[in-house]
Amino acid sequence: MTGPRPAPRLLRSSRLSGLIAAAYDLGTGGMERRLFGERRRRLLGVARGEVLDVGGGTGANLPHLAPGQVARLVLLDPSPGMLARARRRARELGVEAQLVRGRAEWLPFPDRSFDAVVFTLSLCTIGDPATALGEARRVLRQGGRLLVLEHVRAADPRLAGWQDRLTPLWRRIGGGCHLNRDTRAAVEAAGFRFESADEFLEERIPIPVLRPHLVGVAHRDDRSP
């Protein structure tokens, strides 16, 4: 037989990514809703106009974006398994979303094309967060907002020390997730200014090195280059 044959590695990787995505939802679903549902709802209530959810995963933010306020929603993620689940969730919720396979470090969108860019629990995993935040700034319109909900580096030096020690192992088992990123500083270094930033310790999270969390809204600081 002639003609194109399926690329086995790609197939395997997309099957594997489906399993990882299912495990992610199974492992985080209940806890996620209890611990972050309300925080997501409040944060995403600010989003309006054209919205980009970077590293949107299986679509955990979809139920929290107000349809009357959001004119266009794009969810970007490199994982086909995550995107497949996000597609299903969008269909179930009746949410219209454009799903794009891609990476935060190279956003396939023109300059100043979104009113809000969202990162929730993804800046810990994205390979090059500084480049990703630069891209987010590029695609945001003037007056546009960056919305973040992330677990971050602890201010307590002892806890931060454990985050540093455990990150190499955690990255391997956690799909590239870093425990020790100072995301607030990274956002500011990328040319954003926080309008609101709240760091909170969610005691119900059973793993201390996964605390604290940052929830914040920032806008482009147009005095930055």
Contact residues toward ligand SAM (CB under 6 A) are 54-57, 60, 77-79, 82, 103-105, 120-122, 125-127
Which lies closer to ligand SAM via its Cβ, residue 49 or residue 78? 78
Q: How far is the CB of 158 from ligand SAM (least distance, A)?
A: 25
Q: How far is the CB of 180 from ligand SAM (least distance, A)?
A: 16
Q: How far is the CB of 157 from ligand SAM (least distance, A)?
A: 26
Which lies closer to ligand SAM via its Cβ, residue 45 or residue 127? 127
> What size, in residues, is the chain?
225
Q: How far is the CB of 114 from ligand SAM (least distance, A)?
A: 15
Which lies closer to ligand SAM via its Cβ, residue 93 or residue 156? 93
Which lies closer to ligand SAM via its Cβ, residue 27 or residue 143? 27
Tally of helices (H runs) and strands (E runs) in the chain: 5, 7
In the bound state, the residue with its beta carbon closest to ligand SAM is 57
Q: Is 210 exposed, middle or buried (0-12, 13-18, 19+ CB in 10 A)?
A: middle
Q: At residue 105, what are phi and psi to the nearest 5 degrees? A: -75, -15
Q: b/e map of 67-83 (b: 16 or more CB within 10 Å)? A: eeebeebbbbbbbbbbb
Q: How far is the CB of 43 from ligand SAM (least distance, A)?
A: 11
Which lies closer to ligand SAM via its Cβ, residue 128 or residue 195? 128
Phi-psi label, residue 3: left if phi above 0, alpha if psi -120 to 50, beta otherwise:
left
Question: In the structure encoding, which two tokens stand for residue 58, read together?
Answer: 């299986």
Residue whose entry in the numeric block shows the structure tokens 């969610």: 202
